[in-house]
Amino acid sequence: MTAFDAKSTPSYSQEDVQQILKLAIAHQSKDQEKEFSYEQLLEIAAELDISPETLKLAERDWQVAQGEILQRQAFNTYRTERFKKRFGKFSIVNGVLLLVDLVGGGGLSWSLYILLFWGLGIGLDAWNTFQIKGEEYEIAFQKWYRKHQLKQTFNRVVNKFLNAWQS
């Protein structure tokens, strides 16, 4: 917001207007516990001199952004589940190895080395799994996303083929 004295009316930057309107809408929705219809969105846009075409473009951009957020959430869930499986295997195998070493040799010796080195790998895997920012994360996400898209495309083609074959 620009500085103003008692005689002038305040003026706001575009960013200020966006933040103020966002807060006002949040307050209104808290008070009334309602959602806005598309017609209401059009009315608000019209009052702000936003054309329906510009609103459509903004809505499409928002939908794309929401889709990417959902994809990233799915990717993070996939990575977490994959880590849980690896950690489960690590725990079971090393538990058995520790037990065999303890029973077979009367103490712990060689199994501790396996536990240590494999544990180091699991620690690095945990670091990579729960690190959700940075270039490595983006590369892993893009790789997963391409693989995911390829699977979806393949499934669609197979389903269309099977539906056409059954008809």
pLDDT, tens digit, 9 for 90 and up, residues 60-69 = 999 999 999 9
Provide long-range contacts, Cβ within 8 A and 24+ apart, for 106-109: none
Reported pTM: 0.68
pLDDT given at position 6: 52
CA 66 to each of CA 70, 73, 131: distance values in angstroms, whole numbers, following the listed order: 6, 11, 21
pLDDT, tens digit, 9 for 90 and up, residues 62-97 = 999 999 999 999 999 999 999 999 999 999 999 999
Residue 125 confidence class, pLDDT cut points 50, 70, 90? very high
